C-alpha cells in the first residue's frame, strides 16, 4: 500500500489535477458538506477506480470533472491535446434516449459536436460493432435488455473518442453475469487504446480487476484516504480474480472501507 | 379438545393449474371475445330497451324518439335535405373549431414549452395564468364580441382561449418533468441549450404534450357547441342547430345534432391520437382501445 498522494505537484503527464476541491449541497436549508478536501492527480492513460461508502461524494466528484456541477471550492484542471470533447461519461442507468434508435443514440455526441451524419454513422457503427451491437443498430432502446442498453451508453461515450472517459457505476444495475461480461469487454477495449479512465464503483473486485490505481474515499465529507496501485500486469482478464494476491488486496481494501462504512452507519455523517 | 389436538390434524394442500394456467392462449382468446361482447353488447342492449320503451309507449315518443326514429331523421336530414343543408353547418362549425384549436395549440405550446424551460418566465407568468385559468371562458364571449366584432372571431377566440389553457398546462408540466438523468447525459456531451431542447426535452415531452392535445381536442368540440348555443353568426353551426331544435320544439333534430357533435369529437380526437402515435413511435405506454 502506498501513502496518500496529496502533496504531489502537477507534472507533464498529469491529465487531471484536483486541488482542494470541496462540494457543499443545500441552499437555505440544511447544508451538507458532501466532499472535500480532495487533492488528486491522475496521469495520462491511467485507469483509476474510486471506491467508497454510499453518499461519500464519489459520483459528485465525477460530475464535477464532467462539468455537470461546479465545485464549491478549489479547482479541477485537465490538460487535453486535441480539440473536441475532452470528457464523456457513462451513467449508471436510464441514460440513453428512448426516442432515438440505437445508432442515433450512439451518434449523439458526434451530432452535437457537428460531425457529419455520414462520418458520425461510421464511427457509431464502429463502436457498436466493438460492443457486439451492430445487429441492433436500428432497434428502439425499449426493446433491448439492460446489459445492451448499457453497451449503447458505452458506445455513445466512446464514439466521441474522449481523452478522458468518466464512468459512474456503469455496471451496478446489471446482473452478476452481465457485469462480468461487460467488465471483460471494457478491459479489452481499454487495453487497445489506453485512454484516461475515471471509474466509480461499489465493487472492490471490479476496482481491482479494472484499475491501475484504486482510490478509497472516506464517508461524508468524502476525502481520499488511500491510493493503492494495483500490481497486476496488463493485459488482464477475469482469471486474476482467483489469484492469492487478488484476494489479499480485496481484503486489504475492505479493511479500509469497513471503518468508513461502520462510521456512517453509526450516524457520524 | 385442546388446541394442539386441532393443529396435529394432517392436512394436505395442493396447488394445481387452473384452466387459465393450463392453456393461457385459449384463456386470452376467450377473454378477448368476452371483452368485445361486453363492450358492444352494453350499448346494443340499452338501445334495444330504449327502442322497446318508445314503441310500446312506456315513454313519450314525442320527447324521446325511438332510435329508429332518429336514424330515419338522420337519413332525411342528410339525404333528402328538407331541413336546410346540414353539411354547410358542419363545414362552418369545423372551420371555427379548427381555427380556435389551432390558435390555442400554437400559443399553448409556445407558453408551455418556454415556461417549462425558463424558470424566470415561469415565475413571472404562472400565478397570473393560474388565476385566469379558472375564469369561465364562455363568459368572455361578451367582451370578445365588443372587441373583435360580430363575426366568427369572438367564437374562435373563446375556443382558442379554452384550448390554450389545457395545452399550456400539460406541455409546461411535460417539459418540467423531463428526467434529470437524460438531461445530464445530454449535457455531458456539451450540448447547447438548443440541442438539449431539440434532442432531449422536446422528444421526451412529446407523448405528454400529445395527451394535452388530445384532451383539448375534445374540449374544443365542447366549447364550439357551447358557444354556438349563445352566439352563432349567420345562424349556422351544429350548436345553433341543436339550440334551434329546442326553440322550434323539434327534438329529433336536437338528437341528430348531438350525434353529429359526438361523431365530430370522436373523429377529431382520434385524428390527433393517430398523429401523436406516428410522431412518437418509441412510446408504447398508450394502449387504450380508441
Of B179, B188, B283, the CB nearest to A89: B188
Q: Which three cell numbers stand for residue B192?
A: 447547447
Interchain CB distance below 8 Å, B284 and A142: yes
B178 touches chain A (CB under 8 A): no
A66 touches chain B (CB under 8 A): yes
Predicted local distance difference test score (pLDDT) of residue B46: 95
CB atoms near residue B161 (< 10 Å): 20
Beta-carbon pairs below 8 A across chains A and B: 67
Q: Taking CB atoms and an 8 Å cutoff, what residues of chain B touch A63?
A: 184
pLDDT tens for chain B, residues 1 to 290:
455 555 668 888 889 988 888 898 999 999 999 999 999 999 999 999 999 999 998 988 888 899 999 999 888 888 866 666 888 899 999 999 999 999 999 999 999 999 999 999 999 999 999 999 989 888 889 899 999 988 999 999 999 999 999 999 999 999 999 999 999 999 999 888 899 999 999 999 999 999 999 999 999 999 999 999 999 988 899 999 999 988 888 888 899 999 999 999 999 999 999 999 999 988 765 544 43
H-assigned helices in B177-201: 180-187, 193-196
Does residue A77 contact residue A51 with C-beta atoms inside 8 Å? no
Interchain CB distance below 8 Å, B182 and A109: no
Locus of grid cell 450512439 = A106
Of A63, A66, A97, the CB nearest to B182: A97
B194 touches chain A (CB under 8 A): no
CA-closest candidate to residue A36, choices A77, A72, A78: A72
Locus of grid cell 451496478 = A172
Predicted local distance difference test score (pLDDT) of residue B147: 92
CA A164 to chain centre: 10
Interchain CB distance below 8 Å, A113 and B189: yes
Rounded to a whole number, what is the distance in Å from the CA of A95 to chain B's nearest CA? 5
* Structural element, H or E, at residue B42: helix B24-55
B63 touches chain A (CB under 8 A): no
Output the CA–CA distances (angstroms, integers) from residue B17 to A15, B22, B23, B30, B109, in the order listed: 63, 6, 9, 18, 53
B180 touches chain A (CB under 8 A): no
Interchain CB distance below 8 Å, B185 and A140: no
- Pick the residue from chain B with its C-alpha nearest to A104: B199
Q: How far apart are CA B191 and CA A88, in angstroms?
A: 12
Q: How far apart are CA B72 and CA B134, in angstroms?
A: 42
Interchain CB distance below 8 Å, B181 and A94: yes
* Structural element, H or E, at residue A165: strand A164-168
Predicted local distance difference test score (pLDDT) of residue B213: 96
Interchain CB distance below 8 Å, A87 and B184: no
Q: How far apart are CA B194 and CA B204, in angstroms?
A: 14
Give the pLDDT confidence of A76-119 residue by residue, as tens digits: 988 877 777 788 999 988 899 999 999 999 999 999 999 999 99
10-residue stretch averages of pLDDT, chain A, 269 residues long = 44 80 84 88 92 88 91 88 81 91 95 92 92 91 90 92 91 86 88 90 91 91 90 85 90 88 63
- Pick the residue from chain B with its C-alpha nearest to A138: B282
B281 touches chain A (CB under 8 A): yes
A190 touches chain B (CB under 8 A): no
Interchain CB distance below 8 Å, A88 and B188: yes
Q: What is the CATH number of domain B79-279?
A: 1.10.3720.10
Residues 6 or more apart whose CB falls under 8 angstroms from that of A178 comprise A146, A147, A171
Predicted local distance difference test score (pLDDT) of residue B139: 87
Predicted local distance difference test score (pLDDT) of residue B261: 95
What are the boundaries of each domain within chain B? 20-64, 79-279
* Structural element, H or E, at residue A121: helix A117-130
Predicted local distance difference test score (pLDDT) of residue B284: 64
CA-closest candidate to residue B271, choices B198, B213, B188, B206: B213
B286 touches chain A (CB under 8 A): no
Locus of grid cell 327534438 = B251
What percentage of chain A reaches a pLDDT higher than 70?
Answer: 93
Interchain CB distance below 8 Å, A109 and B189: yes
Strand-pair category, A73-78 with A224-229: unpaired
Q: Dihedrals φ, ψ of A46, to 5°?
A: -85, 145
Q: Taking CB atoms and an 8 Å cutoff, what residues of chain A touch B182?
A: 94-95, 97
User: Tell me, what DSSP letter sits at residue A124?
Assistant: H
Interchain CB distance below 8 Å, B185 and A91: yes
Greatest Cα pair distance, chain A, in angstroms, is: 56
Rounded to a whole number, what is the distance in Å from the CA of A7 to chain B's nearest CA? 30
Q: Which residues pair with A21 in a beta bridge?
A: A38
Rounded to 5 degrees, what angle do the CA atoms B181, B186, B190 make?
A: 135
Q: How far apart are CA B253 and CA B89, in angstroms?
A: 13
Q: Taking CB atoms and an 8 Å cutoff, what residues of chain A touch B192?
A: 112
Beginning with the edge strand found earlier in the chain, give each strand of the sheet holding A73-78 in spatial order: A32-43, A14-25, A73-78
Predicted local distance difference test score (pLDDT) of residue B81: 66
- Pick the residue from chain B with its C-alpha nearest to A89: B188
Q: How far apart are CA A224 and CA A188, in angstroms?
A: 28
Of B187, B199, B282, the CB nearest to A98: B282
B189 touches chain A (CB under 8 A): yes
Amino acid at each position: 500500500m502506498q501513502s496518500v498522494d496529496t502533496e504531489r505537484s502537477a507534472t507533464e503527464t498529469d491529465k487531471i489535477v484536483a486541488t482542494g476541491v470541496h462540494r457543499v449541497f443545500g441552499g437555505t436549508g440544511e447544508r451538507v458538506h458532501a466532499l472535500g478536501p480532495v487533492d488528486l492527480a491522475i496521469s495520462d492513460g491511467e485507469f483509476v477506480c474510486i471506491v467508497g461508502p454510499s453518499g461519500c461524494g464519489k459520483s459528485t466528484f465525477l460530475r464535477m470533472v464532467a462539468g455537470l456541477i461546479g465545485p464549491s471550492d478549489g479547482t479541477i484542471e485537465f490538460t487535453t491535446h486535441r480539440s473536441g470533447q475532452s470528457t464523456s461519461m457513462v451513467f449508471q442507468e436510464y441514460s440513453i434516449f428512448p426516442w432515438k434508435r440505437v445508432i442515433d443514440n450512439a451518434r449523439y455526441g458526434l451530432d452535437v459536436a457537428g460531425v457529419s451524419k455520414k462520418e458520425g454513422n461510421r464511427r457509431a457503427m464502429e463502436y457498436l460493432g466493438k460492443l457486439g451491437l451492430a445487429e441492433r443498430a436500428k432497434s428502439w432502446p425499449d426493446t433491448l435488455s439492460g446489459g445492451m442498453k448499457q453497451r449503447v451508453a458505452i458506445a455513445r461515450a466512446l464514439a466521441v473518442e474522449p481523452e478522458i472517459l468518466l464512468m459512474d457505476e456503469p455496471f451496478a444495475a446489471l446482473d452478476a453475469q452481465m457485469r462480468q461480461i461487460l467488465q471483460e469487454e471494457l478491459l479489452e477495449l481499454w487495453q487497445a487504446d489506453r485512454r484516461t479512465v475515471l471509474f466509480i464503483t461499489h465493487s472492490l473486485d471490479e476496482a481491482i480487476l479494472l484499475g491501475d490505481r484504486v482510490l478509497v474515499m472516506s464517508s461524508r465529507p468524502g476525502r481520499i484516504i488511500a491510493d493503492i496501485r494495483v500490481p497486476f500486469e496488463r493485459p488482464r482478464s477475469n482469471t486474476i480474480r482467483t489469484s492469492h494476491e487478488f484476494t489479499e488486496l480485496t481484503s486489504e481494501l475492505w479493511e479500509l472501507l469497513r471503518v468508513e462504512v461502520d462510521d456512517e452507519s453509526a450516524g457520524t455523517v | 379438545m385442546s388446541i394442539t389436538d386441532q393443529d396435529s390434524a394432517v392436512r394436505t394442500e395442493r396447488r394445481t393449474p387452473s384452466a387459465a394456467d393450463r392453456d393461457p392462449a385459449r384463456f386470452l382468446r376467450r377473454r378477448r371475445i368476452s371483452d368485445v361482447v361486453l363492450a358492444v353488447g352494453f350499448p346494443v342492449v340499452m338501445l334495444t330497451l330504449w327502442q322497446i320503451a318508445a314503441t310500446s309507449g312506456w315513454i313519450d315518443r314525442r320527447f324521446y324518439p325511438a332510435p329508429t326514429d332518429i336514424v330515419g331523421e338522420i337519413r332525411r336530414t342528410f339525404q333528402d335535405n328538407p331541413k336546410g343543408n346540414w353539411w354547410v353547418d358542419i363545414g362552418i362549425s369545423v372551420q371555427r373549431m379548427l381555427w380556435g384549436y389551432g390558435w390555442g395549440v400554437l400559443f399553448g405550446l409556445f407558453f408551455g414549452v418556454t415556461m417549462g424551460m425558463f424558470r424566470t418566465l415561469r415565475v413571472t407568468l404562472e400565478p397570473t395564468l393560474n388565476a385566469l385559468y379558472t375564469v369561465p371562458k364562455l363568459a368572455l364571449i361578451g367582451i370578445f364580441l365588443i372587441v373583435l366584432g360580430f363575426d366568427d372571431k369572438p367564437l374562435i377566440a373563446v375556443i382558442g382561449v379554452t384550448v390554450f389553457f389545457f395545452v399550456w398546462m400539460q406541455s409546461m408540466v411535460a417539459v418540467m418533468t423531463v428526467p434529470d438523468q437524460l438531461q445530464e447525459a445530454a449535457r455531458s456531451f456539451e450540448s447547447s441549450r438548443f440541442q438539449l431542447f431539440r434532442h432531449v426535452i422536446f422528444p421526451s415531452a412529446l407523448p405528454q404534450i400529445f395527451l394535452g392535445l388530445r384532451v383539448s381536442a375534445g374540449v374544443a368540440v365542447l366549447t364550439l357547441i357551447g358557444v354556438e348555443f349563445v352566439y352563432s353568426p349567420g345562424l349556422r353551426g351544429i350548436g345553433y342547430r341543436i339550440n334551434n331544435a329546442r326553440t322550434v320544439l323539434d327534438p329529433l333534430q336536437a338528437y341528430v345534432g348531438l350525434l353529429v357533435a359526438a361523431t365530430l369529437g370522436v373523429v377529431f380526437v382520434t385524428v390527433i391520437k393517430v398523429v401523436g402515435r406516428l410522431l412518437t413511435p418509441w412510446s408504447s405506454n398508450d394502449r387504450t382501445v380508441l
